Structure 1
Amino acid sequence: MSVVELTDVRKRYESGGETVEALKGVDFHGDRGEMVTVIGPSGSGKSTMLNVIGLLDTPTSGTVRIDGRDVTDFDGDELTEERRSEIGFVFQDFHLLPMLTAVENVELPSMWETDVDRHDRAIDLLRRVGLGDRLRHTPDQLSGGQRQRVAIARALINEPDLLLADEPTGNLDRDTGATILDEVTRLKNEEDVAIVAVTHDEQLVEYADRTVNLVDGEIR
């Protein structure tokens, strides 16, 4: 069963009195243990597609399923809970809170949980991405690659089924990017998650199990 599935998804926006169709009947799926990269020129609808997959935006028409459940018509609270429990996000700019340590940043998405093991899981995840000696460091004490590792650990803290990445290697040099992608591949297999990554980086495409080309809102 696919972790995420889009069926005939369309997304229209009103802009300057005109209707812009960002997605035009997109069919897509991502499976456990699979990394799918979404590529395409600027303005092709990649960010819109990622937002729909991540339940940050709702389609104008079509169906979105997470773990086989139709979530298309979920209300705001239901979508928030679905994102919290099922989806992890990794961003190009890391989005770490500067006043928190690495461990505290990783724990942040689970702060409303009563699970006493979240602190131990945060430490374990940081050790698994090679930051066992940086647990108490704040982001300004970490390199770009180390900050991205913290962001990846944070995305996995709630044991999501789906990991979404928006240009995750965009701010990294090639060697650091390769190290990050090696770790992402290993964690993908260990955690058995589906990964969907939007990218312009050919290096990331090389690590993908499958690549989807989105052009003018359509998969080609």
Structure 2
Amino acid sequence: MSIIELEGVVKRYETGAETVEALKGVDFSAARGEMVTVVGPSGSGKSTMLNMIGLLDSPTAGSVTLDGQDVTGFSEDERTEERRAELGFVFQSFHLLPMLTAVENVELPSMWDTSVDRHDRAVDLLERVGLGDRLTHTPGELSGGQQQRVAIARSLINEPEILLADEPTGNLDQETGGTILTEMQRLTEEENIAVVAITHDTQLEEFSDRAVNLVDGVLHT
């Protein structure tokens, strides 16, 4: 069963007198334990599609189903709660706070949740991504690959069902990127998480269960 599904998703933006159709009837799904890569040139609609999957925006037409629930008409507050409960995000630029240590950065998304020991969970996640000896290091004291692994650990702090990755290897050399992709592949196999990544990097396809192409807002499977 799909954990996320887009059906006939259209997204239009009004820019002055012009209407831009970023997505043109996109059908897409991903299952738990599956890594799917969305490949396409700049301006093809990849980021817009990721925003639909990540509940950061609503479609102009079509539907979005998350874990069997139609979330298309959810309010902003409802979408925020679903993102917190179901989704993790990894970005090309890491988005770590420079004044915080690795473990503090990982703890951040769960700071309002007093029902769990977020510190112990953050430590465990950093150990799982090979950074058990870097807990008190700030981002400036870490390499690019180490920063991206901190970002992956942070994305998992709330135990998401889906990990969304926006150009996760874009700022990394090929060898370091391969290490990150191996870690993401491990998450699908051992944690049964669905990973959806958008990229220009063809290396990512080698680690994926399947790849789809988005060109001018049209998805080709």
Q: TM-score range by the shorter chain?
A: over 0.9
Q: Which aligned segments of 4 or more residues in structure 1 are displaced greater than 3 angstroms?
A: none
How far did 1:79 drift?
A: 0.5
Alignment map for 1:30-49 (pairs within 5 Å): 30-49=30-49
**C-alpha separation in 1, matches of 2:168 and 2:138:** 20
Unaligned stretches of 5+ residues in structure 2:
none
2:97 matched to which residue of 1?
97
1:126 matched to which residue of 2?
126
Alignment map for 1:30-179 (pairs within 5 Å): 30-179=30-179
SS at structure 2 position matched to 1:81: helix
**C-alpha separation in 2, matches of 1:177 and 1:216:** 27
**C-alpha separation in 1, matches of 2:191 and 2:110:** 17
Q: Is 2:180 the counterpart of 1:195? A: no
1:181 matched to which residue of 2?
181
How far did 1:117 drift?
A: 2.4
How far did 1:179 drift?
A: 0.9
How far did 1:121 drift?
A: 1.2
SS at structure 2 position matched to 1:183: helix
**C-alpha separation in 1, matches of 2:82 and 2:187:** 22
How far did 1:187 drift?
A: 2.0
**Alignment-mate amino acid for residue 72 of structure 1:** T
Unaligned stretches of 5+ residues in structure 1:
none
**Alignment-mate amino acid for residue 181 of structure 1:** L
Alignment map for 1:196-211 (pairs within 5 Å): 196-211=196-211
**Alignment-mate amino acid for residue 125 of structure 2:** L
Corresponding pairs, count: 220
**Alignment-mate amino acid for residue 19 of structure 1:** T
Which segment is superposed worse, 103-112 or 116-125?
116-125
Normalising to structure 1: TM-score of the pair? 0.98
How far did 1:8 drift?
A: 0.3
1:4 matched to which residue of 2?
4
**C-alpha separation in 2, matches of 1:173 and 1:30:** 28
How far did 1:95 drift?
A: 0.2
Which segment is superposed worse, 163-172 or 179-188?
179-188
CA RMSD, aligned part only? 0.7
% same residue:
75
**C-alpha separation in 1, matches of 2:104 and 2:125:** 12
**C-alpha separation in 2, matches of 1:4 and 1:99:** 35
**C-alpha separation in 1, matches of 2:42 and 2:149:** 27
**C-alpha separation in 2, matches of 1:174 and 1:129:** 18
SS at structure 2 position matched to 1:4: strand
